[in-house]
Chains A and B, each alone.
Chain A
């Protein structure tokens, strides 16, 4: 019996007469065992359809984090520290370069290390000094062994919102892979976008120092209404007065677009909602949006966006695709 006939039989491509012929061949004792196995495989094959949903390498990174997390030694004495409740209105957002990692949220050895996976945390983590930290998706905060001793130093990958407790004797320092942020005065905002390969600091009130992780003397001081950017590629530190409140959207659930183009809108939605949104074959991108988003589901927002400019929205798995109609 040739293979084509058998495979056509399995696919249901044969006429009744032809199928009968194959059946008789199968019923033969020497073919039966093998064919039954083949049939089993054939029937099970649609199971592989969903294979693409699972990425071993990415998943391993998460697993590695869980394992590493386990290795961290607990810190002692830190909770004995009496911290001040006088929390300044201090806002910090830091988005490190490692946003691609999906971090697993686990509260082991409290006060030491905090992580989130694909869901942000609505309740803040309270650090031993009273600082409140809200974690966005895929974020990890690790306190230094000596946190609270002379300084309050921690490392961050991902994105977090800090309300730093006031303590002038112990500087609050946030370390990312490429830049460090030091609280000098009272309150400020920090943000650093992974897609820009930079760390950004936006100050509300007070004074903040932004400096290179490698060269401490290489720094800028930022005051009210200023935004500082550090570009690790050419070690450039720049300061300008611009501040975009949309970077807080993941926490505030509010976005505001004024005369914004599609790329910007989609970029901000991607960050705010943590979903993959792609733009493909949009012929005319001259349209500008004026839109306020306040506590809305992403689906509704996207429907409005495609609806106002004759675009098409396709949803596949957890991703969205925007294209021309």
Chain B
């Protein structure tokens, strides 16, 4: 059995003081928000602290917490702003702006932010669902920059095998994109709990 609750529904629960709902949202967004912040602040500890603070603020102010934008947009906006605030404090904003990852400037529109958020969320979902071997090969290619030939040698498999796994990745990305289209269409981000 699976229970699907939208962010909005969970947020309503949180306002009533429901810690379980808070935990669900926290765990659902924690990683991608940390990854997002980490790209800016370059320190995993700081990134986690920023994400924690954003969530703590929500909990702290839960009774009066009102949103005019989607919860997801709010989270990414808050993490983005707090990460830059941290950088400003560290006086290395300019270095970051020149690094060229994502938009990087403070002038990020809500649309851009949401797009980045969705890309991250979707990627995370797709890569997480890849079979272990496929994921390993994908990571060797994308994270370590190995050529197919090099991966084949490294894992003692044929190039054909590597190609098959990489094709599978593309297929998953395409499927994910299709599914994700429906997500946006529904305007909901669902959290699945396997019960």
A binding-site residues for B, Cβ under 8 Å: 2-4, 6-8, 10-11, 13, 34, 37-38, 40-42, 44-51, 53-54, 56-57, 59-60, 62-64, 66-67, 70, 104, 118, 317
Contact of B38 with A46 in the complex, beta carbons under 8 Å: no
Contact of B35 with A38 in the complex, beta carbons under 8 Å: no
Partner of A57, one of B27, B34, B123: B27
Interface residue tally for chain B (C-beta within 8 Å): 44
Contact of B38 with A41 in the complex, beta carbons under 8 Å: no
User: Cβ of A50: which chain B residues have Cβ within 8 Å of it?
Assistant: 35, 38, 44
Contact of A48 with B124 in the complex, beta carbons under 8 Å: yes
Beyond A13-B148, A37-B177, A51-B31, whether A63 also contacts B55 by CB under 8 A is yes
Beyond A8-B163, A54-B34, A57-B27, whether A67 also contacts B123 by CB under 8 A is no
Max chain A CB contacts within 10 Å: which of B59, B122, B174? B174
Contact of A11 with B177 in the complex, beta carbons under 8 Å: no
Beyond A4-B167, A118-B45, whether A51 also contacts B35 by CB under 8 A is yes
Contact of B26 with A41 in the complex, beta carbons under 8 Å: no
| Chain B nearest CB, measured from A13 CB (Å) | 6
User: Cβ of B127: which chain A residues have Cβ within 8 Å of it?
Assistant: 45, 48
Q: With an 8 A cutoff between CB atoms, is B119 at the interface?
A: yes
Partner of B44, one of A3, A11, A53, A70: A53
- A to B contact number (C-beta, < 8 Å): 110
Partner of B47, one of A54, A63, A317: A54
Contact of A47 with B120 in the complex, beta carbons under 8 Å: yes
Contact of A44 with B48 in the complex, beta carbons under 8 Å: no
Contact of B177 with A34 in the complex, beta carbons under 8 Å: yes
User: Cβ of A42: which chain B residues have Cβ within 8 Å of it?
Assistant: 142, 173
User: Cβ of B139: which chain A residues have Cβ within 8 Å of it?
Assistant: 49
Distance between Cα atoms of A67 and B56 in the complex (Å): 8
Contact of A11 with B119 in the complex, beta carbons under 8 Å: no
Beyond A13-B148, A34-B177, whether A47 also contacts B39 by CB under 8 A is yes
Chain A, Cβ-Cβ closest to B159: A13
User: Cβ of A34: which chain B residues have Cβ within 8 Å of it?
Assistant: 174, 177
Distance between Cα atoms of A70 and B38 in the complex (Å): 27
Contact of A56 with B124 in the complex, beta carbons under 8 Å: no
| Chain B nearest CB, measured from A74 CB (Å) | 16
Beyond A3-B167, A38-B177, A41-B173, whether A63 also contacts B34 by CB under 8 A is no
21 pairs, A vs B, C-beta closer than 8 Å: A3-B167, A7-B166, A7-B169, A8-B163, A11-B148, A11-B166, A13-B148, A38-B174, A40-B119, A41-B119, A41-B122, A41-B126, A47-B39, A48-B124, A50-B44, A59-B48, A59-B52, A63-B26, A63-B52, A63-B56, A67-B56
User: Cβ of A66: which chain B residues have Cβ within 8 Å of it?
Assistant: 52, 56
Q: With an 8 A cutoff between CB atoms, is B23 at the interface?
A: yes
Chain B, Cβ-Cβ closest to A6: B170
Q: With an 8 A cutoff between CB atoms, is B97 at the interface?
A: no
Partner of A47, one of B55, B123, B147, B174: B123
User: Cβ of B34: which chain A residues have Cβ within 8 Å of it?
Assistant: 53-54
Distance between Cα atoms of A38 and B173 in the complex (Å): 7
Contact of A54 with B44 in the complex, beta carbons under 8 Å: yes
| Chain B nearest CB, measured from A18 CB (Å) | 13
User: Cβ of B119: which chain A residues have Cβ within 8 Å of it?
Assistant: 40-41, 44
Contact of B35 with A54 in the complex, beta carbons under 8 Å: yes
Partner of A7, one of B26, B120, B126, B167: B167
| Chain B nearest CB, measured from A146 CB (Å) | 27
Instruction: Mark each residue of chain B from 66 to 92: 1 if its CB lies under 8 Å from any CB of chain A, else 0.
Output: 000000000000000000000000000
User: Cβ of B122: which chain A residues have Cβ within 8 Å of it?
Assistant: 41
Given contacts A34-B177, A42-B142, A53-B34, 4 further A-B contacts (CB under 8 A): A45-B142, A47-B123, A53-B44, A59-B26
Distance between Cα atoms of A62 and B169 in the complex (Å): 35
Distance between Cα atoms of A3 and B164 in the complex (Å): 9
| Chain B nearest CB, measured from A6 CB (Å) | 6
User: Cβ of A104: which chain B residues have Cβ within 8 Å of it?
Assistant: 52
| Chain A nearest CB, measured from B162 CB (Å) | 10
